[in-house]
Amino acid sequence: MSFTTLHFFLFLAMGVLIYYLLPKKLQWVWLLVLSYLYYFTFSIKTSVFLIFTTVVTYTGGILLTRMNESSKAYLAANKETLDRAAKKAYKEKVKKNKRRVVVAMLLLCFGLLGVVKYLNFVIENIDALVLAVGHGQYFEPVNIILPLGISFYTFQSISYIIDVYQGKYSAEKNLFKYALFVSFFPQLLQGPIGRFDRLAHQLYEGRSFSLKAAEFGLQRILWGCFKKMVLADRISPFVTEVFKHSDQYEGMIFFLAAVMYSIQIYCDFSGCMDIVRGTSECFGITLGENFRRPYFSQTLPEFWRRWHISLGAFFREYVFYPVSTSKILLKWNTKVRKYLGNAIGTGFASCVPILCVWILTGLWHGAKWNYIGWGFFHGILICLSTLFEQPVAKLTEKLNIRTNCISWNIFRMLRTFLLCVIGRIIFMGKGIRASFQMITSCIVDYRKIYDLVNDFSISQREWGVIFIGVLILLCVSIAQEIREQIGIKEDIRDWLLRQNLWLRWTVLIAGILCVLIFGVYGTGSQIVFIYEQF
């Protein structure tokens, strides 16, 4: 029951109607029922993985909270009899026990994720290594069904465990309420990765029907459907053809396919997030923003702060900062400074956590060397941008290059977009070797020209719809960016809400007709969202 199917919209309408008819104290129960019903439509068998993760992390959270509470109670009861050394020793003992619980949670949850997502990848590489050294033994791949959304709900559950461990909030005592936090159906399959302290209270509080919230939710859903069905699904056949049969093409067609894929994956994923956030708004629940017009970014670090914001925040908070402050890295950094100097030591201290984050980000996308290579590519570029930020700034100043003008900003945006496009070629290749062959072909065989209409069975009308759709998306994004730059916090939907009823309904009906007429349907469309496979 994908987000763009008629079944989903009927499911949503039924869910919202019953939600507001129920007493407020029972509304969260209905959300839990809806969430599991929704997941069951994909697979009842793989719901075992969701239940396992929920029960395990719920238990871990309860244990950590009990340790926190008993520790505070013990210290308060014995504050006059315990000296400073005794208090410190007791706190260290409690901290060690809490760490054991967290490590157990990480091993169970990430262990499960690793087995279902990466076991066959490991087997394939061991098999290749064994065959390479001349032995005939090999391992057979294991038939494992990858549960939908496992990466998202695992990361959300682990962030909850770490936050409880750090004492940011106490664990949820009601198992079923916690189960709702993990499985809330709009964000279950593709995020955004929710934080308990920002989301849970919204799920549990009762709400009265709000016409404004429903209208805003439907408008956001419609905008998401436009991006997904009119643009992403229409671009998909061209991108799939070029990258799937890359051995049959050469030249700049790979660059064009990577540009189109950059548009497709943005429209696909951000469109999904619009549908997810709009669906939640229909229930009066506000989810965190996951995209903020990333293609207006002027640097790669800024780009990834605007793209998949919740995943970036997870890696920044739970990987980058812990690695940066770890005893091992600090010890290595001291040795590097001692033997190689402060400049190299500073670079080492900043680059190691960046590379850790990006290699893990590549792995998060799936068990392919392309994804790891893509992560390494971005990690290296961000390390270089960090190391050479000041030298480049000084060079720019010496060359008297104006940096406070629109042409400089556009140049930086195009440069960042170009680097992302190169990364997309690495990401989409059938293998690392194939990816570099495509990049090389763009440079060596750049004179090769293809007929985009006849060679790819895509009509002029289709390309025209893509061009006009991208133009509409660009105009809306520019308007949103300008409003943000000049400090207007009001959403475009707020502006539309102030207009007369005729204009509001004209815009709404025009949007619905646009999706119905120009949306891609049937077996030829990319019905499955791209990020469902990650």
Read out DSSP for 50-95? HHHHHHHHHHHHHHHHHHHHHHHHHHHHTTTT--HHHHHHHHHHHH
**Which tokens sit at 376?**
């390494």
Q: How far is CA 252 from CA 162, 391, 455, in A?
A: 46, 33, 14
Which string of b and e fits 502-528 if b means at least 16 CB within 10 Å?
eebeeeeeebeebbeebbbeeeebbbe
Q: What's residue 190's pLDDT?
A: 86
Distance from C-alpha of 61 to C-alpha of 164, rounded to nearest angstrom: 6
Is the pLDDT at 137 greater than 60? The verdict is no
Q: Is 362 exposed, middle or buried (0-12, 13-18, 19+ CB in 10 A)?
A: buried
**What three-state secondary structure class fits 99?**
helix
For the chain, the distance separating the N- and C-terminal CA atoms, rounded to the nearest angstrom, is: 18
92 pLDDT tier (thresholds 50, 70, 90): confident
Mean pLDDT of the chain: 88
Q: What is the pLDDT of residue 378?
A: 95
Reply yes or no on whether the pLDDT at 490 is more than 90: no
The CA–CA distances, whole Å, from 447 to 17, 418, 442, 453 equal 59, 19, 9, 18
pLDDT above 80 for 442:
yes
Tokens of 140: 């057979």
- Tell which residue, 143, 148, 176, 150, has the closest CA to residue 40: 148
Helix (H, G, I), strand (E, B) or coil at 292: coil
pLDDT the model gives residue 472 = 93
Structure tokens given for 221: 């859903």
Tokens of 86: 């005794």
pLDDT at residue 525 in the model: 46
β partners of residue 291: 307
Distance between CA atoms of 152 and 211, rounded to whole angstroms? Answer: 31
Q: Which amino acid is at 71?
A: S
Q: Give, for 282, the enclosing helix (H) or strand (E).
A: helix 253-282
Beta carbons within 8 Å of 274's beta carbon, 6+ residues apart:
220, 221, 223, 224, 227
Cis peptide before 23 (omega within 30 of 0): no
pLDDT tens digits, one per residue of 228-241 = 999 999 999 899 99
Number of other CB atoms surrounding residue 301 within 10 Å = 18
Longest CA–CA separation in the chain, Å:
86
Distance, in Å, from the CA atom of 448 to the CA atom of 430, rounded to the nearest integer, reads: 22
Q: Is residue 523 over pLDDT 80?
A: no
Report, as an integer, the average pLDDT of 289-308.
92
- Look at residues 429, 396, 364, 358 and name the one whose alpha carbon lies nearest to residue 152: 364
Tell me the pLDDT tens digit for each residue of 155-177: 999 999 999 999 899 999 999 99
Which tokens sit at 482? 């300008």
What span, in angstroms and rounded, lies between the C-alpha atoms of 422 and 439?
Answer: 8
CA dist 193 and 188 (Å) reads 9
Between CA 71 and CA 65 the distance in angstroms is 10
Query: pLDDT tens-digit profile of 335-361?
Result: 877 787 777 777 778 888 999 999 999
pLDDT tens, position by position, 4-49: 888 999 999 999 999 999 999 999 999 999 999 999 988 888 899 9
């936050």: which residue's tokens?
Answer: 163
Q: Three-class SS of residue 134?
A: coil
Give me the pLDDT at residue 142, please: 78
Tokens 């671009």 label which residue?
Answer: 235
pLDDT on residue 361: 93
Q: What mean pLDDT do residues 425-450 have?
A: 90
CA distances from 5 to 8, 228, 229, 441, 529 (A): 5, 12, 10, 39, 12
Structure tokens, 124: 């394939």
What are the structure tokens assigned to 266, written together?
A: 């943005």
Name the token pair of 328. Answer: 């091992």
Q: Tell me, what's the pLDDT at 524? A: 47
**pLDDT tens across 188-209, in order?**
888 899 999 999 999 999 899 9
Per residue in 211-228, pLDDT (tens digit) is: 888 889 999 999 999 999
Instruction: State the Cα–Cα distance between residues 248 and 430, nearest whole angstrom.
Output: 13
β-pair partners for 307: 291
Helices and strands per DSSP (H, E), number in the chain: 23, 0
Spatial separation of the C-alpha atoms in residues 43 and 48, rounded to whole Å: 10
Phi, psi of 489 (to 5 degrees): -85, -15
Under DSSP, the state recorded for 329 is H
| Confidence check: pLDDT of 50 > 50 | yes
Residue 530 is predicted with a pLDDT of 80
Q: What is residue 44's predicted lDDT score, i.e. its pLDDT?
A: 87
Reference 425, options 435, 434, 416, 433; nearest CA is 435
Give DSSP secondary structure letters for 218-241: HHHHHHHHIIIIIIIHHHHHHHHH
Contacts of 97 (CB under 8 A, 6+ apart): 67
